[in-house]
Structure 1
Amino acid sequence: MRIGLTGGIGSGKSTVAGFLREAGAAIVDTDAISRGLTLAGGAAMPAIAQQFGADFVTVDGALDRDRMRALAFSDAAAKRRLEAILHPLITAEALAQAEAATAPLIVFDVPLLVESGRWRPRVARVLVVDCPAETQKARVLQRPGWTLERVEGALAAQTTREARRAAADAVLLNDGISLVALRMEVMSLAARWGCETITPP
């Protein structure tokens, strides 16, 4: 069973992914794959350097993530150029990891699953971790280096809460709930989906 896990920034998606891993699922983390591709020596770096120039490459040869993030937020065309480089590489590596996994439940952790439109046909179910925008802001502002302007920019770059919920087969509301209760919900869902035998479309 292949599951797509998504949620807005600060929703608690990473926490849910950790509980799913604890339940025995294999987690394919597309953010981690993206970071690996843009480290020094990463497979995406030659094309990024060619497309965007040396200003977007650090002295050790990695992507200057802060500079690229600022550009992507302000320039939609530049964002599309970056995605054209990264998305095929991320998808190929994610599918390779899934093929190598032996767990009964394979979870693709994809922050922009709904926005991309590419992942829905590859999974049998979509699990959305949901919470109000104000809760998202409060959580992310506790992270080092995040300002309100940066948080609001990140929220604006993602789809709406309503669109994510509409695309979901299941929604975990992670607001006003204890970690113990959230874990129980995740474990119950993992047990139910892990026992199903549905071939992804």
Structure 2
Amino acid sequence: MLRIGLTGGIGAGKSTVSSTFSDLGGVVVDGDVIAREVVAPGTEGLAALVEAFGSEILLPDGALNRPALAAIAFPDDEKRATLNGIVHPLVGTRRAELIEAAPADAVIVEDIPLLVESQMASLFPLVIIVDADPEVRVARLTQHRGFSEADARARIAAQASEEQRRAVADVWLDNSGTAEELTAAARALWQDRIAPFAHNLQQSTPATALTRLVPADPTWPDQAARIAARLRTTCGHRAIRVDHIGSTAVPGLDAKDVVDVQVTVASLDVADELADALLAAGYPKVDGPTADVAHTDDVASWQKRLHASADPGRPTNVHLRVDGWPNQRFALLFRDWLLANEDVRAEYLALKRSVAAEGHETSGDYAEAKEPWLVDAYRRAWEWADATGWRP
């Protein structure tokens, strides 16, 4: 089951995207719809709202007067927190019931208005943000949904900022154009990324990553930060630390467009225990060798477990290594050594470009071709560590 988090500010147009995904076979769990269900007449949710905000939030027929509630709660941080404290748990329970009832191989699209504000992004293998310029959103809310301009601006201001949304967005869909353009973009996203992601996940197969070297991407650290947050949530207390490693962790260094992340664990048994959770998060286990190339005589201490992303839009390697073992320490040391030494970075970049020019067909062949240099780099890096007092 692939779970997608979909969100966007009020008036941004995420309903168009969720409707498109539904047409394409996604099971949409709509937070707005659920939020209405849990405060319908006769529910405990509506009773709790009346107790908190008074009977003036009710219509003559006993239903919730949403504009009246919004006028009371949204301009006031404390009252808005009270509202969220009542509604969010009820919505969460109902959402879980709907997901439990879905087919095991479903693509679940969780349309959650306050996904960012509720800090839920790291729960999803893929987060999609629908956005539009605030002025466009104000115009939509006033012209098509009956909001006053003041109310529209207050609602927008009370939600997450663009910066906060971009920090968690795996996919950013701009909806400053027409609904038809947004629908076309959503369909292309489904066909090119979501459907292959779901297929790979069902088959427990990592996405295929290109082996060619590409220019350094300044967004790699931000992408890695989202991945690391997802892995911390997935692994919980069993992850001692989660680190962005490898070439994409070194600004300005050309690399394969594959983000490498290291999850440090207490033992390989713990790494094995995490396999199912990592699969659910979008990272199936990689079949094949379970050890790095050893640079010490203690070959057994270079073992690891390797997972990789099933998402074709963000190739990722997740290395699970044991705390204090030489491969775990060297992954951190090598990154920091490169960061601290411009000459070494230039030397390594020249090596990478030379090896890439040889046209290796697989990542394994590419890595093997770099190995003679890395053997000597292991010694040099540790000499630097001893000289500088480096600690992981």
Alignment TM-score, normalising by the size of structure 1: 0.90
| Selected match of 1:186 from 161, 167, 189 | 189
Indicate conservation of the 8 Å contact 1:20/1:190, yes or no.
no
Q: What does the per-residue CA deviation read over 1:121-150, in whole Å, with 9 as the maximum and x for residues that have no partner? A: 432211111222222222222214222212
Q: Distance in 1 between the 2:151 and 2:157 partners?
A: 10
Deviations 1:29-77 (A, max 9, x none): 1111111112211330121222222222233222221111001122221
Give the residue type in structure 2 aligned to 1:110: I
Residues in 2 aligned to 1:19 and 1:85: alpha-carbon distance in whole angstroms: 31
* In 2: Cα distance, 1:143 partner to 1:158 partner: 20
2-side partners of 1:144 and 1:132: how far apart? 17
Question: Corresponding residue for 1:88?
Answer: 89
Check if 1:109 corresponds to 2:111: yes
**Superposed, which structure 2 residues align to 1:2-81 within 5 Å?**
2-81=3-82
Partners of 1:55 and 1:113 in 2: how far apart?
29
| Mean CA deviation greater in 26-35 or 60-69 | 60-69
Q: Percent identity?
A: 37
CA distance in 2: counterparts of 1:147 and 1:14, whole angstroms: 21
Structure 1 residue runs of 4+, over 4 Å off?
none
CA distance in 2, matches of 1:36, 1:93: 9
SS at match of 1:116: coil
Provide the alpha-carbon RMSD of the alignment: 1.9
User: Distance in 1 between the 2:138 and 2:67 partners?
Assistant: 19
Kindly name which structure, 1 or 2, has the bigger radius of gyration based on alpha carbons. Answer: 2
| Paired residues of 2:127 and 2:168 also in contact (CA < 8 A) | yes
Task: Tell whether the 8 Å contact from 1:40 to 1:60 is kept in structure 2 after alignment.
Answer: no
1:7-29 Cα deviation digits (max 9, x unpaired): 11221100000111111110001
Q: Which residue of 1 aligns with 2:239?
A: none
Pairwise mapping of residues 127-166 of structure 1 onto structure 2 (< 5 A)? 127-166=128-167
Whether the 8 Å contact between 1:127 and 1:170 is mirrored in structure 2 is yes
CA distance in 2, matches of 1:27, 1:125: 14
Distance 1:173 1:37, change over 3 A: same
> What are the Cα deviations for residues 144-192 of structure 1, in whole angstroms up to 9, with x where unaligned?
4222212111110111112111111111122236255324323323323
Alignment partner, residue 287 of structure 2: none
Q: Alpha carbons of 1:56 and 1:134: their partners in 2 closer, same or farther (altered >3 Å)?
A: closer
Task: Give the Cα–Cα distance (whole angstroms) in 1 for the partners of residues 135 and 200 of structure 2.
Answer: 36
Give 3-state SS (helix, strand or coil) of 1:113's partner. coil
Structure 2 residue runs of 5 or longer lacking an equivalent are 202-278, 283-392
Q: Whose relative contact order is higher, 1 or 2, with alpha carbons under 8 Å and at least 6 apart?
A: 1
**Could you say if the C-alpha distance between residues 152 and 48 of structure 1 is closer, same or farther in structure 2, counting changes exceeding 3 Å?**
same
In the alignment, is the contact (CA less than 8 A) between 2:16 and 2:183 conserved in 1? no
Q: Write the letter of the residue equivalent to 2:111.
A: D
How many residue pairs get aligned? The number is 200
* Aligned residues of 1:19 and 1:186 also touching (Cα < 8 A): no
Work out the CA distance in 1 between the residues paired with 2:141 and 2:189.
22
The more displaced of 98-107 and 17-26 is 98-107
